[in-house]
Structure 1
Amino acid sequence: MERETGRKLSLPLAFCQERRDELTGLSTMTAFMEQAGKEIQVGGAAFLYFNMENFRLVNQRYGFQAGNQLLIHIAQVLSDIFGAVPMARLNDDRFVVMTRAAHVALEVERARTAIYEAEPRLSLVVKVGVYEPEAGVEDIALILDRAKLACDSIKGMYDRDIAWFDPSMEEALNLRTYLVTHFYEALEKGWIEVYYQPEVRALTREICGFEALARWRDPERGLISPGVFVPVLEDAHLIDRLDLYVLQRVCEDLQHIRREGLDVTHISVNLSRVDFQLNDMLQEVEIICRAHGVPREFLHIEITESALNENDAFLKQEIARLRAQGFELWMDDFGSGYSSLNNLKDFQFDMLKIDMAFLRDFETKPQSRVILSAVVDMAKKLGLHTLAEGVETEEQYAFLKSIGCEVLQGYLFSPPVPLAEILPILRREEGQLQLEDFRAAAFFDAVGAVNVLSTQPLLPPEEAQRAHPLAIGILSIHHGEAKLLYCSKELMRQLRESGFASPEEAMATYHRCTEAGCELGNARFWELVARCRRTRRVESTENVMNGNIFSIVMRRIMVDEARDRAAYVYQLFNLSRFGIGHQVRAVDVATRHLLQIYTRIDLFTSDGQSENLIVDTTQQRVMDLDSLSEESVRRYAQMYIVPEDRERFIRFYDTTTVLARARHAHNDHVTAIFYVRDESTTEAQPQMFIIVPFRLEGKWCYLSCVRRIDNFDATASSVPPFVGGGGRIGRK
């Protein structure tokens, strides 16, 4: 493709006759450097370094021949877009182009798009580094190094595809070179030190361990962050020397601590994926431990999650070997990689260290709390212990403790410190953080395994997995038709226990209850639905269906008035399943009959306390609002009793006169009828109220029962309006 006038670089005929790459037909590296060295004299040039980040997927999926064809296509795309300018294939999937600086971004985007469209199934990621040499910079090798530095600076970044060279990149390169060339000197001269950061038990706020961390204190460059030197040593395949050095120093320190007779706790050390590739790490660890007399239980091994690969059978085997020999294995920085869940499935660990990134926006992003809770819950269900890194505030500490995260680490407790600063802790000196008794570790591990987020916290993890599932349903009512959008297997089973052959049969009772009336058990369910729609609160009721007592808890999800649609989620509890022994079964049977007869049952005590025992969907649990019986009675009267009956109702519930009134009537109870206007109707309806006094553990108690009255005729009734109290029946 011909380039725009005035933008074409001068290209002598000799260039076309230079050596060519056999596959793509582009220049070789030697030919490119010769031509670029001549063209740079013109000035205004830009050098582009192209890297196809995930090109290996082409070879893996379609074979090397398909990969070669794609390389040829890429070379053609670059030639079409940039024209007859110096360009070359450096090696594999790397290309370089020398062009004019004007319109670089636009041309690069055109090239990236064309390359991507060549094989869209692979979502080929094209990264481009750009360097525009300053006046006087004519060393082509240096220029290409700087373009590559720019390209490497955005490696792995999913939101950046092009980068221009910045001098700070070269400073980073110089530092990398310094670190690699001075690494062994740093080890020999002690520039690399081992620091220890406490790990704190959330439940007790006592130190239960330490993590060993490397710090490079350089005489020329000062304190170098591990975030800088660790990746460099990994790339240079020197990280195993660092990790074995730290392990050696840790075992020396443990030996020193034990010789002094100080309390000892575990110390965790970090190992890299490269360590296992270059060494038999089990053998190396055991040699060092034996040399210093350090038992395995004092040493925990952390492996960074990013080092794991779901297809890495070798690493799985090495981790299994270490665990088989009694070493605890911890997954470090969980959540920092892109395959976290797969790693949990494919690798066996004892502890999950949650990456500190989850706490960075803890105060401003509520999603962090949800994610942390989910991770802790999941870990405990998998039988893993949990540790959260990066804890810096009391608020973070309180939350992590509340969700059952077992161990915490961060600057709230202590930064990493040298050995000299942890010795006072091990000596249990005054004013120091408390140290947990190492012998109590197993005890607290067992305590920490309790999943406080679980619906079955009393069961061990292995039994909780087999615990009875929840009976959950999501109900929709649309244009007068009820339908179960979701029905769990347990709900399906309980519906069958209730006498329904299918969810559809259960939903069909909606029409009968809204049109022609239905059984009391079905009516209560649909009354609960109506109440949820009105109150917008979580509502509950007890019910009897097919001889089983159920508790139903329901919440309205959403109402779409315009389309006459509403949705509800509810949970069923079969209370009849929880009977233990003959006495409980007798109470169970009696309660079934009570639920069929009474709409609510309340308990009052002679010391003024009250409690709701059973309440149907038409009224609230008043005792949740007022715990004292006198207050509860007055609130109930205000909420449900018609004004004409309220004072008489309050006198009826005067427990100081109940016994006298019952004896006067020659009964063991007192009875009265009042007009009630509850949440199921706008009309006042007569209901019978019964109070039964009895003694329990030497104290008088009073059972209050309420039932509806159908077809009531006040003039013909044989039930006195207020036994022992006189008065008329109130009217609506």
Structure 2
Amino acid sequence: MVVMNGEPHTEHPTDPQGAQYAGGPGPGGSAFPRPEKVDPITGLDLVAWFFAQTQKDHSFYPLHKSTITFFNVMNFKTINQRFSYQGGNAYLCKFRDELKRLFEGETVLRAGADHLVVISLNLSPEEIAMRVAMLNKVMGNYEGGLRNQIKAGIYIADGTPQKPIIMMDRASLACREVHGIFNKDYCVYDDALKNKHEQKQYVLDHFDEAFEKGYFHVYYQPVVRALTGKVCGYEALARWIDPVKGIIPPFIFIDVLEKVHLIHKLDAYIIEQACKDLRDDIDSGYAYEPISVNLSRLDFELSDVNKVVNDAVAKYDIPKEYLVLEVTESAIASDLTSLGDHIKEFRDEGYQVWIDDFGSGYSSFNNLQTYDFDFLKIDMNFLRNFDKTPKSKVIIASIVDMAKKLGIHTLAEGVETKEQYEFLKSIGCELIQGYYFSKPIPLEDYQNKRAELCSFETNESPEERTYFDCIGEVNFLDNAPLRKHHLEVTSDIPLAILERTERNYTGLYTNKAFMTVINSFGANTIEDVVRILRRENTQETMDKIFEHLLWAEKSNEIVEYSMPLNENKINCKARFVGHMGNKFAYMFVVRNITLRDKETTPSKNRLQF
């Protein structure tokens, strides 16, 4: 029996026997004992009582023709903590009132904890979805500045008699499908969700058997060097091929194994198998490449992952640089305090450590500040709307530029088209992975085509890898690619922002390169430049400069002009930026042409022809 509004809160609102609902039938029971009728907090009838009535009197409510909508308040503990239990009770009562208003004429019930239920006879899923959206609009901005979401799961009865608790479980299951998905408020229970749930249960029931009988297989997806198109590595991926279910999708069994804390067993198996397969490649005399394996948060929490990796490498005598460790975003985003020590230990021992799925989590950029990585794998989601969302190109290019400046190599996964590949190559992303080159394939396919797939015609040699890794450090997006970077934020383009009021000019911003240029002809500020201009030029010249700026303002195009200044010839490019009242802002790029022409004295590093 629930004592307080949402406490104690359980992960699942029902168990298979319905014990979460007071008075639910036991494993062999066919009728509900006498549960309480009314919830003392909301005044709503309780689900347990309502179900008991439908079991006792089949004319009480045509449940077999109804639609059950199960509601769950996200982060309800936060509401209790911020507003006390009394405040949480008030929230539930407001929640109740909104449901009664939006679902007028339907049955609203309390299911315990932070769960309310609507049982309706007259509403379609589309109509319910519309009301769920309206509910979140009202409840999403709760008083006190708390932003909150309410999720809903919808189960539509098929007209046949069913146990009420099963119907409720299905609505609850649909609700859990959208837990943690910010932009989705509801889910409808359907055959696809039913199959997914059954597969997850199958995974739980047959995981040990799959290990014992070798149903897990390692598939390998090639990683390709963008500049050459040659294979330069592989990612090891787990596949479950079951004699009964066929191929069980990874998103099914990985999700289940993570939730039941068994994923570290699978990851340890993949690590060992990758080392074994790599040893076979080395011994075969064919080309072999580094293999990357994934390490999740639970690998670090539930096992001595450093020992697992080192034991497998030692067992098969694998060079450490040929086993690459991909640390997932979820592992890095966790509160695991020792993760930095693990990463440092791996890198100190000679392993490469990559950050996987970069950009998929809110803490991605903080991770680059906290940990040291050799490679950054750009999350494939950035490429999914590549053709329709121009912002994707800007974001990807910015990530590559940033990584290069931090001394980190880059790889993009999920590449499916030539356009994506050509763009990534043009911005200097070094490695490419995706269906454009190959889907993950079993080891047997490589062994059957070794002459084609495992020769140095199609694969990098160790010497090529070292060579192209050096080339990969060049930042194609930098305005000064020849300069070596030492975590400095600089620009070699002499840039300034100038503000004009009538014919008076003041400087709002100048960078270091701009100051170097104006220092070369005796000026220290933009105001100094203006004074020198007025001193050395006629009013006609000053009028022409003014006309250039007016034209830039009206045309919104770049203007370029040259002028003499203190025995120097200066080239200027300007673009209008914006205005406020009688203030007008322009962006300037200025170069001293005379100084450049005078640089005839050769430096010790300059060849003269």
- TM band (smaller chain): 0.7 to 0.9
Q: Is the 8 A contact 2:54 2:61 kept in 1?
A: no
Q: Distance in 2 between matches of 1:98 and 1:81?
A: 12
Q: Shift of residue 220 of structure 1?
A: 2.2
> Match for 2:153 among 129, 136, 142?
129
Q: Is the 8 A contact 1:131 1:165 kept in 2?
A: yes
Paired position in structure 2 for 1:569: 587
Paired position in structure 2 for 1:597: none
Q: Aligned AA for 2:70?
A: Y
Deviations for 1:63-114, whole angstroms, at most 9, x for unmatched residues? 6xx35334312332344455796733534xx313254344683765665455
Q: Aligned AA for 1:140?
A: P
Q: Distance in 1 between matches of 2:308 and 2:454?
A: 39
Paired position in structure 1 for 2:395: 371
Q: Shift of residue 198 of structure 1?
A: 1.2
Q: Distance in 2 between matches of 1:484 and 1:426?
A: 66
Q: Shift of residue 210 of structure 1?
A: 0.9
Paired position in structure 1 for 2:572: 552
Q: Distance in 1 between matches of 2:91 and 2:161?
A: 29
Q: Distance in 2 between matches of 1:396 and 1:335?
A: 18
Paired position in structure 2 for 1:472: 495
Q: CA 1:399 to 1:109, structure 2 compared with 1: closer, same or farther past 3 Å?
A: closer
The alignment yields a C-alpha RMSD, in angstroms, of 4.0
Matched, 1:235 2:259: yes
Name the TM-score, length of structure 1 as normaliser: 0.67
Q: Shift of residue 292 of structure 1?
A: 1.6
Deviations for 1:106-138, whole angstroms, at most 9, x for unmatched residues? 765665455444445221111122334343444
Q: Is the 8 A contact 1:198 1:207 kept in 2?
A: yes
Q: Is the 8 A contact 1:276 1:315 kept in 2?
A: yes
Deviations for 1:290-319, whole angstroms, at most 9, x for unmatched residues? 122122111001122244317543333333
Q: Is the 8 A contact 1:51 1:95 kept in 2?
A: yes
Q: CA 1:117 to 1:396, structure 2 compared with 1: closer, same or farther past 3 Å?
A: closer
Matched, 1:286 2:310: yes
Q: Distance in 1 between matches of 2:531 and 2:261?
A: 70
1:328-477 superposed matches below 5 A: 328-423=352-447, 434-462=458-486, 465=488, 469-477=492-500
Q: Is the 8 A contact 1:475 1:569 kept in 2?
A: yes
Q: Distance in 2 between matches of 1:122 and 1:535?
A: 47
Matched, 1:97 2:114: no
Q: Shift of residue 267 of structure 1?
A: 0.4
Q: Is the 8 A contact 2:404 2:475 kept in 1?
A: yes
Q: Shift of residue 57 of structure 1?
A: 4.2
Paired position in structure 1 for 2:73: 52
Q: Distance in 2 between matches of 1:114 and 1:214?
A: 44
Percent identity over paired residues: 34
Q: Is the 8 A contact 2:536 2:566 kept in 1?
A: no
SS in 1 for 2:261: coil
Unaligned runs of 5+ in 2: 1-31, 101-105
Q: Distance in 1 between matches of 2:568 and 2:561?
A: 14
Q: Distance in 1 between matches of 2:524 and 2:282?
A: 70
Paired position in structure 2 for 1:224: 248
Q: CA 1:487 to 1:102, structure 2 compared with 1: closer, same or farther past 3 Å?
A: farther
Q: Aligned AA for 1:97?
A: V
Greater mean deviation of Cα atoms: 481-490 or 259-268: 481-490
Paired position in structure 2 for 1:42: 61
Q: Distance in 2 between matches of 1:100 and 1:578?
A: 81
Q: Is the 8 A contact 1:510 1:526 kept in 2?
A: no
Q: Is the 8 A contact 2:107 2:118 kept in 1?
A: yes
Paired position in structure 1 for 2:36: 18
Aligned length: 562
Q: Distance in 1 between matches of 2:334 and 2:547?
A: 53
Matched, 1:77 2:76: no
Deviations for 1:129-167, whole angstroms, at most 9, x for unmatched residues? 233434344423212211112212222333332333323
Q: Shift of residue 446 of structure 1?
A: 1.3
Unaligned runs of 5+ in 1: 1-13, 586-695, 698-732
Matched, 1:151 2:175: yes
Paired position in structure 2 for 1:667: none
Q: CA 1:445 to 1:58, structure 2 compared with 1: closer, same or farther past 3 Å?
A: farther
Deviations for 1:381-428, whole angstroms, at most 9, x for unmatched residues? 111101111223333322222211111112232222222333477656
Q: Aligned AA for 1:54?
A: N
Q: Aligned AA for 1:570?
A: F
Greater mean deviation of Cα atoms: 311-320 or 332-341: 311-320
> Match for 1:183 among 207, 220, 224?
207
Paired position in structure 1 for 2:5: none
Q: CA 1:470 to 1:86, structure 2 compared with 1: closer, same or farther past 3 Å?
A: same
Q: Distance in 1 between matches of 2:93 and 2:490?
A: 63
Q: Shift of residue 53 of structure 1?
A: 2.1
> Match for 1:262 among 261, 286, 299?
286
Q: Distance in 1 between matches of 2:561 and 2:383?
A: 40
Name the TM-score, length of structure 2 as normaliser: 0.79
Q: CA 1:86 to 1:56, structure 2 compared with 1: closer, same or farther past 3 Å?
A: closer
**Greater relative contact order (Cα < 8 A, sep 6+):** 2
Paired position in structure 1 for 2:26: none
Q: Shift of residue 209 of structure 1?
A: 0.9
Q: CA 1:29 to 1:497, structure 2 compared with 1: closer, same or farther past 3 Å?
A: farther
Q: Shift of residue 46 of structure 1?
A: 4.2
Paired position in structure 1 for 2:230: 206
Q: Distance in 1 between matches of 2:386 and 2:98?
A: 47
> Match for 1:517 among 512, 536, 539?
539
Q: CA 1:419 to 1:108, structure 2 compared with 1: closer, same or farther past 3 Å?
A: closer
Q: CA 1:38 to 1:449, structure 2 compared with 1: closer, same or farther past 3 Å?
A: farther
> Match for 2:110 among 61, 83, 88?
88
Q: Distance in 1 between matches of 2:423 and 2:135?
A: 50
